[in-house]
A = this chain, B = another copy of it.
Amino acid sequence: MPNKKILIVGGVAAGTKAAAKCRREDPNAEITVVTKDQNVSYAGCGLPYYIGGAIQDRAQLLARTVDELTATLEINIHVNHEAVSCDTAKKTVRVVNLADKSETEMPYDALVIATGAAPIPPRGKGAELGNIFTLRDLSDTDAIKALVVGGVKNAVIVGGGYIGLEMAEAMHANGAKTTVVELMDHILPNFDGIIALLAQKHLREKGVEVITGEKVVEFKGDSGVVAAVVTDKGKEIPADIVVWSVGVRPCLKFAKTCGVKIGVTGAIEVNKKMQTSVPDIYAAGDCAQSVNILTGKPAWIPLGSTANKMGRVAALNICGIEKEFPGVLASSIVKIFNLNAASTGLSVAEANEAGFDAESVILAGNDISPYYPGAKMILLKLVADRKTHRVLGASLIGAGVVDKPVNILVSCITLGATLEQISDMDFAYAPPFSTAMDMVITGANVLLNKMRGHIGWTNCIDVKKRIEAGEKIQILDCRKPEMFDDGHPAGAINIPWGQLYKRAGELNKDGKVAFSCKIGQSCYSAILILQARGHDNLELCEGGIAVYPYEVEKKQVEIARE
């Protein structure tokens, strides 16, 4: 039997992964990679960090060079070559050398489309001006880097997704006054609202302007380069540089010449073996559609991690080893200055739409033992199904470690864990690494408590909305007076913990009392005790003051004047 010809179009994550895995599974195969780029296997997710300066050495962005891949894996790599069309009957691909425009016809036994995704291009009046960028590859990166190194006064980032926020931080690190403009009512549109509000608060504290609910509709120029952006509400923001990061779209130009079916998400439809609708043609990576494990519905979540897994699964099936890719949870994680934010699975709304009966809870706590140096706060919002107690989703934010709990929860969600199962997991514990009861365990326990419904639950966003709507709610902050004075929700009264039972007469008799403390833990016990004594109007403010995303009120301290 002649050696199998495997042709891969695209050479970043999915493409090179598929090539390497095919080599390992079939040492005799003829493996060819064709890519429009100058490079293969570059670190697409690392580009903002190089622009911001966290990564100093550009060479670090090239995971593997063409020479390395060629020498070690015996793969034929054609950079600066574009696959322009496919003859699926003859099983050949027409490839153009972009340097000399010469054409080749490359045969395949198996073809992998790994053409990735590209940023949605800037739109609006003046979008053709200079210094308006999108970020996809090393050439975009080099152009942006050159400009910011030269000195940029005002940067505008259009789009507050994670690439937008990473670029905002990179611009700020280069000394630019930076503004993020987000169309939706909060940044991180795929994240939970409270997480996003806390991220916005942090960005503003760091000096990054955040504008939400506005759309950039026009670019004003000066000598052919951008000078300002204008929003649909008429706001004009000075900008020497604009990074347009409103999202990406799958690159389907080549795929369409293959006649492969496009899915409802707009990406290439594949089955779990990464096979397209056309025999012997596979798709993998950011151009391919996936499925949400929890809802069973098509999902398109372009990410380097998923691209690698898809590339591997395609390679295994091409080489005769049956393997299915089960799908994604839409997990994501982002560093925003000193905060880390992560998300996986479904929100309450998404879960209910998918037929679950979802409940959630917010809690705050330490990432490691509070007495060990370096302990930092994290906030966890956990979502589970009321009927089965199966955990369905999680969002986290904080200065502390969030990648660990989110990934523990990724495995729990994937494997169908219930809150009860999580509650007893034997996580490795020592003070430098975690608390004795890990945050994930406490989250499961608190959500189970909430589901029992024996007390009322609320949260600071909900309380604010209800008070604004005219509801009579007394906010009780039961921390120590010095903590209260240092910052508390507007209008709150303070009865410290130790005096609570004696001073219970001061609590509102009519209307509700929203109980708050540092992280919401202590009030739980207090409410249970007071409830047993006849107070039936108490509500626990989930997560306590730790998750309060608004401006706090401070005690007016009189300063003696000389």
**Which of A's residues lie within 8 Å of B, judged by CB?**
13, 20, 23-24, 27-28, 43, 45-46, 49, 54-55, 60-61, 63, 68, 71-74, 162, 293, 303-309, 312-313, 323, 325-335, 340, 342-344, 369-373, 401, 403-404, 406-408, 410-412, 414-417, 420-434, 436-438, 441, 445, 497-498, 500-501, 522, 524-526, 528-529, 531-533
Residues of B within 8 A of A417 (CB): 411, 415
Residue of B whose beta carbon sits closest to that of A50: B371
Contact of A304 among B420, B429, B522 (CB under 8 A): B429
Residues of B within 8 A of A431 (CB): 43, 45-46, 49
Further 5 A-B residue pairs, CB within 8 A, beyond A54-B372, A305-B437: A55-B371, A72-B497, A72-B498, A333-B429, A334-B430
Q: Is A428's CB under 8 angstroms from B72's CB?
A: no
> What is the minimal beta-carbon distance from A159 to any residue of chain B, in angstroms?
17
Task: Write 21 A-B pairs (CB below 8 A) sorted by A numbering.
Answer: A13-B436, A27-B533, A43-B371, A43-B431, A49-B432, A54-B373, A60-B371, A71-B497, A304-B436, A306-B426, A309-B423, A309-B437, A309-B441, A326-B421, A331-B428, A333-B433, A403-B434, A408-B408, A408-B410, A412-B415, A414-B421
State the CA gap A507–B423 with chains docked (Å): 54
State the CA gap A406–B430 with chains docked (Å): 13
Residue of B whose beta carbon sits closest to that of A526: B72
Q: Is A74's CB under 8 angstroms from B335's CB?
A: no
Residues of B within 8 A of A373 (CB): 54-55
> What is the minimal beta-carbon distance from A59 to any residue of chain B, in angstroms?
9
Residues of B within 8 A of A325 (CB): 424
Q: Which of A313, A335, A431 neighbours the largest number of chain B CB atoms within 10 Å of its CB?
A: A431
Contact of A24 among B27, B334, B408, B524 (CB under 8 A): B524
Residues of B within 8 A of A429 (CB): 45, 303-305, 331, 333
Residues of B within 8 A of A28 (CB): 532
> What is the minimal beta-carbon distance from A8 to any residue of chain B, in angstroms?
16
Residue of B whose beta carbon sits closest to that of A58: B371
> What is the minimal beta-carbon distance from A11 to any residue of chain B, in angstroms?
15
Residue of B whose beta carbon sits closest to that of A411: B411
Number of copies of this kind of chain in the complex: 2
> What is the minimal beta-carbon distance from A468 to any residue of chain B, in angstroms?
32
State the CA gap A331–B427 with chains docked (Å): 6
Contact of A411 among B68, B309, B415, B445 (CB under 8 A): B415
Residues of B within 8 A of A372 (CB): 46, 49, 54-55
Q: Is B27's CB under 8 angstroms from A528's CB?
A: yes
State the CA gap A71–B500 with chains docked (Å): 9
> What is the minimal beta-carbon distance from A20 to any residue of chain B, in angstroms?
7
Q: Which of A63, A410, A500 neighbours the largest number of chain B CB atoms within 10 Å of its CB?
A: A410
- Given known pairs A24-B528, A55-B371, the reply for A428 and B412 (CB within 8 Å) is no
> What is the minimal beta-carbon distance from A145 to any residue of chain B, in angstroms?
15
State the CA gap A406–B54 with chains docked (Å): 28
Residues of B within 8 A of A45 (CB): 369, 429-431, 436
Residues of B within 8 A of A68 (CB): 498
> What is the minimal beta-carbon distance from A498 to any residue of chain B, in angstroms?
4
State the CA gap A426–B441 with chains docked (Å): 21
Residues of B within 8 A of A304 (CB): 429, 436
> What is the minimal beta-carbon distance from A409 to any residue of chain B, in angstroms?
8
Residue of B whose beta carbon sits closest to that of A406: B428
State the CA gap A443–B489 with chains docked (Å): 48
